[in-house]
Structure 1
Amino acid sequence: MEMPDLLFRVDSQSPLPLHVQIKEQIKWLIGKDLLKPGDSLPSTNQLAEQLSINRNTIQSVYTQLKDDGLLLMQKGRGTRVAGEDEIARFKASNSHFAFAEKMIEEAREANLSAEDVLLSGFAYMQLFGQRRNRQPRYLFVECKDSSCVFYLDEIKRLTSAEIRSMDLSSLTEEEAIAAIRGADVIVTRSDLAERLKKFADDAGKTVITVGSTRDVPLLLNLVRQP
């Protein structure tokens, strides 16, 4: 699919640098399925001419997104959106697009400047964001035997992490996937590890298998982190 003209817009008066504006627009289009795996992007010359900015700015954006795994840059084939697996992983770990869209719509309905709301949010994060670091979230899946209980008790003792237990038989697949995406670390029995690994990998999460001795140091290291 070729990109339509005037899809991208930049504002030279914005406090955000031009390269950040373009990069975030491309990520938004990918996150909202307006750019799909394999779609072609304009060449650096085409987009630079369209936006009346330096070609090197576009080249820098494309290179950054290539390094992030979102774009493919191949001589003779131009610049394209990465494959389905890469984009699925990106979406799984970046589920904020719909939330941001809803927030902007609500701001406009309240006759507020969406730009002012976003800038105020950015200022708030700079001022207070570091003071409100959330605690890690652990998800224990089908962990009812003694070894799981030991790790669960250790995490409760050594950290103030959020802990949730999940029984697969009581949830739909969609509910289980949502729970996995909401956790930082998934702890489960070794016989369930392979079943969960695909969902966890897609969401960029860590799976710890109780009963595997090589995972014991990793888990203990995780729970001892402040």
Structure 2
Amino acid sequence: MENSGALFNVDTRSPLPIHVQIKEQIKWLIGKELLKPGDPLPSTNQLADQLSINRNTIQSVYAQLKEDGLLLMQKGRGTRVADERQIERFKMDHPHFAFTEKMIEEARKENLALDDLLLSGFAYVQLFGERQQRKPRYLFIECKDSSCIFYLDEIKRLTSADVQSLDISSLSEEDAIRAIGAADVIVTRSDLAEKLQKFADEAGKTIITVGSTRDVPLLLNLVRHS
């Protein structure tokens, strides 16, 4: 996106630190596809000058988002939004953007002060409970033999994990990669593990291979992941 620097805005009166404001704005723009994979971001000097803040603040934000897998920082090429695979994974793990937008639109219709609403929501979470823990997501790939089915059934019985089974022969490679990226743990037969390891490594995921229904330690390992 050309002139992407014009998208950003900071409020020195906000209770949120400046670096948090900028980081969350970049995540929002990526989540809402206003910044697309490969789009350039302003240089640290350009954005610092535009927002009248210290260059080191922008550098820190870019570095954090690089660690999160959302940005690429390459000498001679500047800072860009990460590739499509990384961004798709981010959006799958953070589906709240549309809900937040709808909530804010409803608040405006009711003439509610948005700053008060957001800060009250944060206070509510602090006062009345921990954030809801996301269920771990298991992906069982090509698990049709008895040992695979045993583990799948036991994981469903013993945990609250989100369990999905997949027949990769019916999917394109792109769809299989997307499914692997959305899972926390991939479970498959030993003869398929090597084939899938490359995709799992790229996504930073764990593969657990299933051998025998008598392999109780493996089942315990699965449960610990949940």
TM range (shorter): 0.7 to 0.9
Asked if residue 24 in structure 1 is aligned to residue 24 in structure 2, the reply is yes
Asked if residue 91 in structure 1 is aligned to residue 101 in structure 2, the reply is no
Instruction: Indicate the residue corresponding to 2:45 in structure 1.
Output: 45
Structure 2 residue runs of 5 or longer lacking an equivalent are: none
Which SS does the other structure have where 1:80 is aligned? strand
Letter in 1 for 2:66: K
Q: Equivalents in 1 of 2:25, 2:225: separation in Å?
A: 36
Please tell me whether the aligned partners of residues 156 and 163 of structure 2 are also in contact (alpha carbons under 8 angstroms): no
Asked if residue 15 in structure 1 is aligned to residue 26 in structure 2, the reply is no
Structure 1 residue runs of 5 or longer lacking an equivalent are: none
Please tell me whether the aligned partners of residues 142 and 165 of structure 1 are also in contact (alpha carbons under 8 angstroms): no
Task: Count residues with an aligned counterpart.
Answer: 223
Instruction: Indicate the residue corresponding to 2:119 in structure 1.
Output: 119
Letter in 2 for 1:13: R
Instruction: Indicate the residue corresponding to 2:151 in structure 1.
Output: 151
Range 82-91 or range 61-70, more displaced:
82-91
Please tell me whether the aligned partners of residues 137 and 161 of structure 1 are also in contact (alpha carbons under 8 angstroms): no
Range 184-193 or range 34-43, more displaced:
184-193
Letter in 1 for 2:79: T
Q: What does 1:93-108 correspond to in 2, within 5 Å?
A: 93-108=93-108
Q: Equivalents in 2 of 1:79, 1:40: separation in Å?
A: 6
Q: Equivalents in 2 of 1:21, 1:165: separation in Å?
A: 36
Q: Equivalents in 2 of 1:73, 1:122: separation in Å?
A: 32
**Aligned-residue CA RMSD (Å):** 3.9
- TM-superposed CA distance for 1:79, in Å, is 1.9
Q: In the TM superposition, what whole-angstrom CA distance separates every residue of 1:66-102 from its partner, at most 9, and x where no partner exists?
A: 2222222233322222222322222232222122212
Please tell me whether the aligned partners of residues 187 and 208 of structure 1 are also in contact (alpha carbons under 8 angstroms): yes
Q: In the TM superposition, what whole-angstrom CA distance separates every residue of 1:152-198 from its partner, at most 9, and x where no partner exists?
A: 453355x34245565769x999x999987876445455677799889
Please tell me whether the aligned partners of residues 208 and 219 of structure 1 are also in contact (alpha carbons under 8 angstroms): no
Instruction: Indicate the residue corresponding to 1:58 in structure 2.
Output: 58
Letter in 2 for 1:46: Q
Q: Equivalents in 2 of 1:124, 1:86: separation in Å?
A: 32
Shift in alpha-carbon separation, 1:154–1:77, aligned structure 2, 3 A? closer
Letter in 2 for 1:43: S
TM-score by length of 1: 0.73
Range 189-198 or range 26-35, more displaced:
189-198
- TM-superposed CA distance for 1:30, in Å, is 1.3
